[in-house]
Amino acid sequence: MTWQVYALLSAAAAGATAVLAKVGVASVPSNLATLIRTVVIVAFATIIVVARGEHRSLPNVSVKALIFLVMSGCATGLSWLAYFRALQLGPASRVAPIDKLSLVFTLALATIFLHESLTWQVTAGTVLMIAGALLTLSGSQF
């Protein structure tokens, strides 16, 4: 499969996540809900890594890669904790569009640190995504 197909699958799964998490977090403390979700993800990822034999590559992971993956994991954890709390406090249809504004941060960070090009098409798409997120929030209270 191409990266585009994986990205689309990721988007579909993330969309389902918001609805499933909203129901799940209704009667559970948000941090506990995040822990439960994380345990499931660790088990799921472990099964896939072992089944594919990728665990054999662990000794070859560089210190630099490990540091950046740990930092990424910390950012993911913070994101999930905040996301579940937001879902607990607000409607999924309002939380998800704000959460998806992560694209704006991704583009800015990728441009600054990875030197990825910021074309007019990417800029226009980003502006449209921001406008779309704001439109979904119009009429709601923050």
pTM above 0.85, yes or no: no
**DSSP assignments along 34-92, one per residue:** HHHHHHHHHHHHHHHHHHTTGGGGGGG--HHHHHHHHHHHHHHHHHHHHHHHHHHHS-H
Residue 3 pLDDT level (bands cut at 50, 70, 90): confident
List, for residues 7-38, the tens digit of each pLDDT value. Answer: 889 888 888 888 899 999 999 999 999 999 99
> Is 80 exceeded by the pLDDT of residue 141?
no
List, for residues 81-109, the tens digit of each pLDDT value. Answer: 999 999 999 998 888 888 989 989 999 99
Q: Domain check: are 134 and 67 in the same one?
A: no
Tell me whether residue 77 is in a domain.
Answer: yes
Q: Domain check: are 122 and 62 in the same one?
A: no
Q: What's the domain range around 131? A: 100-142
Tell me whether residue 135 is in a domain.
Answer: yes
What is the number of domains present in the chain?
A: 2
Q: Domain check: are 12 and 51 in the same one?
A: yes
Tell me whether residue 95 is in a domain.
Answer: no
List, for residues 37-88, the tens digit of each pLDDT value. Answer: 999 999 999 999 999 999 999 999 999 999 999 999 999 999 999 999 999 9
Q: Domain check: are 24 and 63 in the same one?
A: yes
Tell me the C-alpha distance between 140 and 46, whole Å: 41
Q: Domain check: are 12 and 49 in the same one?
A: yes
Q: Domain check: are 138 and 83 in the same one?
A: no
Tell me whether residue 25 is in a domain.
Answer: yes
Domain boundary, last residue among 66, 90, 114: 90
Domain boundary, last residue among 50, 68, 90: 90
List, for residues 120-139, the tens digit of each pLDDT value. Answer: 999 999 999 899 888 888 76
